[in-house]
Amino acid sequence: MLDVSLKVLKEITSHSYKAYIVGGFVRDYIIGIESKDIDIATNATPKQLKEIFDDSCLPNEDYGSVIVEKMGIRFEITTFRKEIEYDDNRRPVEIKYIDDLSADLLRRDFVINTICMDENGQILDYLAGRQDIEDRIIRTVGPAYEKFSEDSLRILRAVRFATIFNFDLSDEIVSAIKETKHLVRNLSFYRKKCELDKIFTSPNRKNGIQLLLDLGLDIDLDIPNLYKILNMETTSSIGIWSVLDVEDKYPFNKNELELIGDIKSALILNNMDPMALYRYGLYVNSVAAEIKGKDIKNITESYSSLVIKCRDDIDIDSELIMELLDKAPGKYLKDIYDDIEREILYRRLSNERDKICSYIIEKYKG
């Protein structure tokens, strides 16, 4: 990954521009974890970058940067800039391209996110970000109150980085968050959810949730149930969202909404019960059991010993039922299916065609 990245830098610098990897990748590289995407800062403008990378280049309309994909790696290349005056605590009203890397670093959020790497793999650390990594602390670049007032997403990014790296927030950050936290109300629920998901799926999520609670962010994030997930053992982010019960505010796709509905239903059932397992499946019941602090090993065993796992497993079909009862299709077919399904699941009826036929004739014929 580093090789490809340095090649991309060289591609830009060979056209007489400056280019550095900056932000998450260098930070993660020093901490010793792998980054997913790579951020590059350069004095080349998006227009000049398009000339360098032509076909492999996608403008990122939102932010005046370009995205280049190489060998399956995504590079977000952003021109050195100054951000002038912020609107609605999120977006800079005006961006001014500049020629100087050190000035670009000043508009960034946290000191740990300002470390750069040049095309030779040399680290440039103008603001002593490495020291902060060593000290395991998150500090803002410049006054925290101003940083958070300009862009309240930085509040959630601070908590996210503190959580996933198990770093402390500087005292200044903690005070500034307490003063500015109401501004997270101006963020879209989509943005908030992206940050919260990263906190909830971190192995350190308990610290992160405690931090959100200590800072009082649960209220401003409209997640009053946050305290309920503090001691919950589930690693499923959708399980966590089910308990948070915020589908009226936070965005979920159709599939996620269906899962949340199922998990909520399974929460009030005995998750080892054959009918619960059959209806909601292993995943949903395991998540529900984890939320309730139950051992999921027993659930896996109960699930594998189910006689049938779906309607197709029942050793009969509608044609045969109609033939047995000498009747045209109708709603009665569903009632019979529900009945034999239940009998088979609870092992009162064996899942064998002959046995099922006799049962149907005896109970439903005439």
Which lies closer to Mg ion via its Cβ, residue 39 or residue 132? 39
Contact flag: residue 108 with ligand ATP (CB under 6 A): yes
With CB under 5 to 8 Å by kind, the binding choice for 109 among ligand ATP, Mg ion, none is ligand ATP
Determine which helix (DSSP H) or strand (DSSP E) holds 79, and give its type and residue range. strand 73-79
Minimum Å distance from CB 9 to ligand ATP? 16
- Of 104, 109, 132, 195, which one interacts with ligand ATP (CB under 6 A)? 109
Q: What phi and psi values does residue 339 have, to the nearest 5 degrees?
A: -65, -55
Footprint of Mg ion on residues 38-97 (CB under 5 A)?
Answer: 39
Distances (CA, A) of 248 to 222, 223, 244, 257: 11, 11, 11, 11
| Residue span 158-187 as binding mask against ligand ATP, x where in contact by CB under 6 A, dash where not | ------------------------------
Which lies closer to ligand ATP via its Cβ, residue 37 or residue 214? 37
Contact flag: residue 23 with ligand ATP (CB under 6 A): yes
Which lies closer to ligand ATP via its Cβ, residue 62 or residue 354? 62
Which lies closer to Mg ion via its Cβ, residue 60 or residue 304? 60
Q: What is the identity of the amino acid at 274? A: P
- Of 11, 13, 24, 70, which one interacts with Mg ion (CB under 5 A)? 24
Contact flag: residue 153 with ligand ATP (CB under 6 A): yes
H helices of 183-292, in order, are 189-200, 205-214, 217-220, 237-244, 254-267, 274-291
Minimum Å distance from CB 39 to Mg ion? 5
DSSP 8: H
Contact flag: residue 151 with ligand ATP (CB under 6 A): yes
Return the beta strands (E) in 90-212 as ranges. Answer: 91-97, 116-117, 123-124, 137-138, 168-169
User: Which residue is associated with the tokens 């103008």?
Assistant: 126
Query: Is residue 92 within 8 Å of residue 84, measured between CB atoms?
Result: yes
Q: Residue with the closest Cβ to ligand ATP?
A: 24
For helices 2-13 and 46-53, the axis angle rounded to 10 degrees is: 110
Which lies closer to ligand ATP via its Cβ, residue 194 or residue 361? 194
Contact flag: residue 154 with ligand ATP (CB under 6 A): yes
- Of 65, 113, 163, 302, which one interacts with ligand ATP (CB under 6 A)? 113
Query: Is residue 216 within 8 Å of residue 178, measured between CB atoms?
Result: yes
Which lies closer to ligand ATP via its Cβ, residue 107 or residue 286? 107
Q: Which residues contact 230 (CB under 8 A, 6 or more apart)?
A: 206, 209, 210, 213
Cα 12 from Cα 5, distance rounded (Å): 11
Which parts of this chain interact with ligand ATP (CB under 6 A)? 23-24, 37, 39, 108-109, 113, 151, 153-154
Which parts of this chain interact with Mg ion (CB under 5 A)? 24, 39
